[in-house]
Structure 1
């Protein structure tokens, strides 16, 4: 059955969130989190402060849509995998594709995520947002796993979704720390895919 398309109102809401997230990310990386205010983020996005607070409770929370880079697209890619077929290979391939500049995102978008992860290493509030993003991604991925692996028990499904989410987190963080890939691919995608294959080897 074809997925229901979002309404015009929902599309506008998502667009506003993305504009605020982009503005927040650019300001945080340019002048630091402490020096950035919610007013500045709203102004850079051309949006009122009141509207900002309709979407986000804090200035740090505004970067969540940027940190969720590729999540919806790669989960959608997993939904196309035939039930029960080559799951680990499919997950690794989807992770690699969605974190590749030639796949699910852009080089500029990946670089922005890396800058934010570097900043999160020194800012607890940003680190907390990153943790929430990963927890939400794991929950959503678990639902996808249930669709594609109907015979698997809850423990197996939970381990698969935890492994995939942790792999993306670890891969991106390793790249932000300067880790290089050894297979010629983009470090973000290669490190995350390798991490997933290692983590899921015993599942």
Structure 2
């Protein structure tokens, strides 16, 4: 059966679901027992798949989290794209962070904080996190250009995308390191206010 225009086929949706299940299993294990103590066998078992299936989707252990990183990219961009262009960017980002789909992985806040610490401390995963951020930056260009009326290739739009993502990443890492964490949405707002992101 042919997939509807713009919609992934049933086979592709199943692949995406499997990738997501692997990522979620890895996220739990990495946050609870650490990256080094978690084996590929552990992840495959927790995801309910064979080791052969794991390697069909992930070349290595550090690739397991990639779907979580890229899905958060898409959700933020999609949320920003649906908000009014004249809404201040700080408010738009806060709305994106407050959307249920965006905070689904943060339901267990302590686990999320541990996972972010792992992502920041394991070089191989950090590289993939940075790559996901670059992908987000590329996706954001068109959304930010539509809000500003500038070209997606303009220096100003590229600077805005970079500043926005850096502020969010710094807020996330700061939140994850705190002994008594502040509200993540408020921390993000503080970071964006400090950069005067709405004036860029």
How high is the TM-score relative to the length of structure 2?
A: 0.81
Partner of 1:104: 102
- Alpha-carbon RMSD across the aligned residues, in angstroms, is 2.6
Give 1:139's aligned residue.
Answer: 138
Partner of 1:190: 186
Distance in 1 (CA, whole Å) between partners of 2:181 and 2:91 is 23
Q: CA deviation at 1:69?
A: 6.0
Aligned residues: 193
What per-residue deviation string (whole Å, max 9, x for no partner) do you get for residues 62-120 of structure 1?
Answer: 1122344643222112112344x23424433334424xxx5632342554332112223
Deviation at 1:36, TM superposition (A): 1.6
- The answer on 1:16 being equivalent to 2:26 is no
User: What SS does the aligned partner of 1:47 have?
Assistant: coil
Shift of 1:17: 0.9
Aligned residue in 2 for 1:73: 75
How much has 1:26 moved relative to structure 2? 1.5
- Which aligned pairs between 1:41-60 and structure 2 lie closer than 5 A? 41-60=43-62
Q: Tell me, in whole angstroms, the C-alpha distance in 2 between the residues paired with 1:32 and 1:197.
A: 34
Closer, same or farther: CA 35–93 of 1 in aligned 2, 3 Å? closer
Q: CA-to-partner distance for each residue in 1:115-170, whole Å, 9 max, x for gaps?
A: 11222343222222222222222122123223443335611111121122112211
Q: Does 1:127 align with 2:102?
A: no
SS at match of 1:79: helix
- Does the CA-based 8 Å contact 2:23-2:68 persist in structure 1? yes
CA distance in 1, matches of 2:19, 2:101: 23
The secondary structure found in structure 2 opposite 1:4 is coil
Mapped contact 1:96–1:190 kept (Cα < 8 A): no
Structure 1's unaligned 5+ residue stretches are: 182-186
Distance 1:163 1:32 in 2: 31
Higher helix proportion: 2
Residue 109 to residue 13, structure 1, CA distance change in 2 (3 Å): farther
Do the aligned partners of 1:175 and 1:191 also contact (CA within 8 Å) in 2?
A: yes
1-structure distance, mates of 2:72, 2:108: 10
Distance change >3 Å, CA 189–CA 103, structure 1 → 2: farther
